[in-house]
Amino acid sequence: MDYLEKLQVFLDEGQSSSFFNLWEEYCFNDVVRGEELIAILERVKNSSLAPLFGKIADTVLSLWETLPEGEEKDRVLQLVLDLQTTNNKQLYAVAVDYVNRKYKDRDNFNEALRVVGLRDGREFQYSLSRFDFLMHLKEGNFVFHSGGWGVGEVMGVSFLQQKALIEFEGVMMSKDISFETAFKSLVPLPREHFLSRRFGDPDGFESYAKEHPVEVIEMLLKDLGPKTAKEIKDELVDLVIPEKDWNRWWQAAKNKVKKSSRIISPKTIKEPYRFQIEGGSLTSQLEQRLSHLEDNAEKIAEIYQFVRDLPSELKNPENKKLLVQLLQELPLEEALSLEIQRDILLTNFLGGSSSSRLSKEFISSLSEGDILNLVHNISITALQKTFLMLVKQYSPLWEGIFMKVFLSTTSSTLRELTFKVLRSTESCKENLKSVILKFIENPMMYPEAFTWFFLKFGVHGDGVFSPEDKEIERGFLESALVFMHQVATTSYKDLGKKIYHFLTGQRFLIFRNIIEGAPLTYLKEILLLSTKCSQFSSGDLGVLQNLAEVVQPNLKKNNVVVEEDVLWTTAESFTRMKNKLQSLVSKELIENAKEIEDARSLGDLRENSEYKFALEKRSRLQKEISVLSEEINRARILTKDMVFTDTVGVGCKVSLEDSEGNLVTYSILGPWDADPDKHILSLKSKFSQAMIGKHVEESLQFQGKDYKVSKIQSFWDT
């Protein structure tokens, strides 16, 4: 444990005597590192021992004198003056000498001496850091407000009034800040600081960022510290890069950042990007990362990522030689899958000679089980693909292996590869087709493979079945609904949700395409199956019913199961009726129970009219609760996207023209929303039933009057 760590322990534990004993020992060091001394003083400044240390702060001067001239030496002296509480002559002389050497010819020099206490030397704690700050306070320079106002630009300074006029990014108007307040709440920012450039010249900084993305991210990380990808976006989007350009800019920047020797990229999205001042070569960074890894699989993955992301580094023969050496020195201890990964990297990526592990003789000698185990144990997908293509080239068992990988792998990349290879090989295509057809009979046999294929098949991207084969399409839709029902309560429920989103996306486009021209019996079966799928909401089921009715209008007359008990309602009426039920159960029924007890206490129940009235009221309330509960269970909330205006249906606003040319408009909603005064009819009303299913220009008759449908709109259309 070094001095910094030991002193930090004593500071944390408040052991003042141990701290000062160790500090005294530290002061006798022959060699002093400026970085370490600064770290010690900063930690003391933020500790409870700062007042005590202030009495002996001048002991730092002997160490300070040994430091070379530069920023570190200046920073040490600033911290000494911040900590000191004695205001002795030695410290005063050193402080005055510092400001004379650095700022003698600057404007307002004497006024600044007076403000910080260096003119008379009576009280000059914090004098150097404050003097530096006052010299920074000039028009056009930037500061940062630690209280939440953000970055500010100095608009003017008055040493006579001891105040500065500053325009902040988080405040509407410029603010007059006194020097005393500024010392406590403002931090000087150099003009080249990320925040200064972002606030002071946003247009110029945007142009610079688009041309030099890596430099901007380096600047951000150097000035603001480590940041995750999300935090980087928060600092840049709209403030530097417009949101519409962000994704394209960030993708390009991220690829370039990987090649920067001064930015350490994270392994996961939750880890931050880091800036390192020294940089170093990318290969030296790789060696450093490898030195911290013990698992050989992780080392191979690290080398693969380097080769994949930094192909330009391989142009240097020395770098390529180093990578080859790193791979060859790995002690793989007969781990065949690791050996194959290493050999693929050496042969295919680093230009090495062919390996016996990748030869025809070796691969053709492997059994199907051996090859499947190797594919499973290879952790890098790109190397899995390479190995599988070698298997296709050399193994007589490749077709069966590819089929098993296609059916059982959890990697969509490998499934895509094996599927394309099998589909493009004429001798395998028919076998592939027959295997896929078995999905229709039992989709749960290979849940992931079924889901993957159905999503591809639904958009005619499979290349196996003809897009004109409607029977196959309908068979797969039926299987998909069966699958959704079966997986709803299993570990595969996410696959069911994926199919649900696929079927309902783009206003049920896939579902509409598949059921187009379907016979009545098929649609009845599909609608019945859909009611068993918990993924579909009541609103979804209503849409499916409407879509099926468009294909087969007879479904309406046949009173299909999915519609027979539906009570359509708007969200507002649904909430109103739920509140009514809640009131009946939690308020009126309880009050009625109290009424019954009060009436019972009057005695002689046979002639007690209050008691009989209370019982009748209870019966009426219970019946009302029962009916309302049943209606709420049948209710489906009608939304704008569920209304189709090709024919008259629930949610439609229908304009009718009578025989005399008069135009009248009715809206058709559920019984809870019906309001004849506003021309809103219940779906169950006879007039609505006469209109249901009619197209524009179709005629209807009601109560001896003839009408023609003039226009059909959605209830939500204005």
Listed residue (545, 457, 464, 468) closest to 502, CA to CA = 457
pLDDT recorded at residue 95: 93
Query: What is the predicted pLDDT for the residue at 604?
Result: 58
Give the DSSP letter string of 23-59: HHHHTT-SS--HHHHHHHHHHHHTSTTHHHHHTTGGG
Give the Å distances, CA to CA, from 582 to 238, 618, 635. Answer: 48, 16, 16
| Residue 17 and residue 35 share a domain | yes
Number of Cβ within a 10 Å radius of residue 499: 24
Supply the Cα-derived Rg of the chain in whole angstroms: 40
Residues 553 and 574 in one domain: no
Residue 158 bridge partners (DSSP): 163
CA 371 to chain centre: 37
Claim to verify: residue 401 and residue 446 sit in the same structural domain: no
pLDDT of residue 607: 62
Please say whether the dihedral angle defined by the alpha carbons of residues 42, 48, 54 and 56, taken in this order, is positive or negative.
negative
| Strand positions, DSSP E, 62-185 | 142-145, 150-158, 163-168, 175-178
Q: What is the pLDDT of residue 238?
A: 92
Residue among 529, 538, 706 at smallest CA distance from 636: 538
Which segments in the chain show pLDDT lower than 50?
1, 557-564
- pLDDT for residue 563: 47
Q: Using H for helix, E for strand and C for coil, what is the string for 265-326?
A: CCCCCCCCEEECCCCCCHHHHHHHHHHCCCCHHHHHHHHHHHHHHCHHHHHCHHHHHHHHHH
Q: Which CATH number characterizes residue 701's domain? A: 3.10.50.30
Sign of the torsion formed by the C-alpha atoms of 355, 358, 361 and 366: positive
DSSP 47: S
- Domains contained in the chain, number: 7
For 344-376, what is each residue's pLDDT tens digit? 999 988 888 778 889 999 999 999 999 999 999
| Cβ proximity of 124 and 117 under 8 Å | yes
* Segment 300-325, tens digit of pLDDT: 999 998 898 888 888 888 888 999 99
Q: Which residue in this structure is represented by tokens 């001896």? A: 704
- Kindly state whether residue 290 falls inside one of the protein's structural domains: no
Structure tokens at 419: 């599927």
Phi and psi of 406, rounded to 5°?
A: -60, -40
pLDDT for res 137? 93
Q: Do 51 and 76 lie in a common domain?
A: yes
Taking alpha carbons only, the member of 194, 209, 201, 196 closest to residue 242 is 209
Measured between alpha carbons, how far is 207 from 55 in angstroms, rounded to an integer? 52
DSSP 348: I
d(CA 435, CA 495): 20
Running DSSP on this structure, what letter comes out for residue 490?
S
pLDDT at residue 415, as a whole number:
96
Helices 493-515 and 470-487, packing angle to 10 deg? 150
Q: Are residues 225 and 326 in the same domain?
A: no
Query: Which helix (H) or strand (E) is 508 found in, with range?
Result: helix 493-515
In a domain, 298, yes or no: no
Q: Are residues 669 and 622 in the same domain?
A: no
Residue 440 is assigned to a structural domain of this protein: yes
Q: Are residues 119 and 13 in the same domain?
A: yes
Q: Phi/psi class of residue 641: alpha, beta or left (left: φ > 0; alpha: ψ in -120 to 50)?
A: alpha
Q: Are residues 453 and 345 in the same domain?
A: no
Unique residue bearing structure tokens 């996961």: 268
Residue 164: strand, helix, or coil: strand
The set of residues, in sequence order, having a beta carbon less than 8 Å from that of 660 and lying 6+ positions away, is: none
The model's pLDDT over 217-258, given as tens digits with 9 standing for 90+, comes to 999 999 999 999 999 999 999 999 999 999 999 999 988 888
pLDDT at 294: 87
- Tokens representing 366 are 């492997």
586 in any annotated domain:
yes
For 424, the domain range is 305-431
| Cβ atoms of residues 210 and 249 within 8 Å | yes
Cα(224)–Cα(196) distance, integer angstroms: 12
> How distant, in Å, are the alpha carbons of 47, 332, 393, 573, 586 from that of 295?
42, 10, 31, 62, 63
DSSP structural state of residue 358: G
* Domain boundary pick from 564, 592, 626: 564
Q: What is the pLDDT at residue 699?
A: 92
Secondary structure (DSSP) of 385-452: HHHHHHHHHH-TTHHHHHHHHHHH-S-HHHHHHHHHHHHHSHHHHHHHHHHHHHHHH-GGGSHHHHHH
Residues 118 and 56 grouped into a single domain? yes
- If asked whether residues 492 and 383 sit together in one domain, one would say no
Which of the listed residues 545, 564, 583 is the one where a domain comes to its end?
564
Residues 6+ apart with CB under 8 A from 106: 135
Predicted confidence at residue 562, as pLDDT, reads: 38
Whether 285 is in a domain gets the answer no
